[in-house]
Amino acid sequence: MKLIMLGAPGAGKGTQAARVAAELKVPHISTGDIFRSNIKNGTELGRKAKEYMDAGKLVPDELTCDLVADRIAQDDCKGGFILDGFPRTIPQAEALDKVLSSRGEKVDYAVNIDVPDAAIVARMSGRRACVSCGATYHIEFNPPKKEGICDVCGAELILRADDKPETVQTRLDVYHEQTQPLIDYYAKQGALVTVDGTQPMDEVFAAILAKLGK
């Protein structure tokens, strides 16, 4: 099964994508993780991606499309995959469709996790990330045992630049302008399913599986 996870930044796409991928036994492919890995390692792609991410902007298509195409062509994706953070624009979606159709395949479902903007700003401004190992926390929903300190490695936790309220709102504005049209795109293909992302995580997960017929 080939799935796309849709929803605004902070809607819970990553969390749910990982759980659904584990349930379906397919790879969870997150472009965000790829970008952050490149940023941490100081690659050219990482430096370029960081400039856009810190400003709350989308990473341009040319930095992502080829990367994703190569990833989904790998052997572990033969039984399906879940894309988290891609596509983000209609041109990216069209590029993905072109890659899949060349192999006689298509996107089976686009899962839209629907959460209001105000709830997302509150969620994301509470996030904290470890400067060393990358573990993530939330001051309300998943706090570390000791405030400001990573449970895993003991390093400092920070509020990432792209989680600050003003940056989050910029990201939401960009999302509504550029990414939300994907909801219509996949609806026209008959692939769209929408779930209420304001529910508790377990209920969101159960709702997604129900929509997928699992």
Q: Exactly one of 36, 50, 123, 171 is catalytic; name it.
A: 171
**Residues above pLDDT 70, as percent of the chain:** 100
Report the greatest alpha carbon distance in the chain. 51
DSSP percent split of the chain into helix, strand, coil, nearest 5: 50, 15, 35
Residue 37, CB half-sphere, CA atoms under 13 Å: how many?
5
70, two tokens:
């190569």
Residue 193, CB half-sphere, CA atoms under 13 Å: how many?
16
Judged against a pLDDT cut of 90, whether residue 174 lies above it is answered with no
Q: Exactly one of 19, 36, 88, 123 is catalytic; name it.
A: 88
Q: Exactly one of 13, 19, 50, 128 is catalytic; name it.
A: 13
Q: Domain extents for the chain?
A: 2-115+164-211
The reported pTM is 0.76
> For this structure, is 171 an active site residue?
yes
> For this structure, is 123 an active site residue?
no
> For this structure, is 98 an active site residue?
no
pLDDT bin (cut points 50, 70, 90) of residue 98 is very high
Q: Exactly one of 19, 36, 123, 127 is catalytic; name it.
A: 127
CATH of 2-115+164-211, one of 3.40.50.300, 3.20.20.140, 3.30.450.30, 3.40.640.10: 3.40.50.300
Q: Which of 107-111, 122-126, 208-212 has the lowest mean pLDDT?
A: 122-126
pLDDT digits (tens, 9 = 90+) for 1-43: 999 999 998 898 888 999 999 999 999 998 877 787 778 888 8
Distance of CA 187 to the CA centre of its chain: 19
Is the CB of residue 178 less than 8 Å from the CB of residue 89?
yes
155, two tokens:
């390093």
Q: In the prediction, which pLDDT does 111 show? A: 97
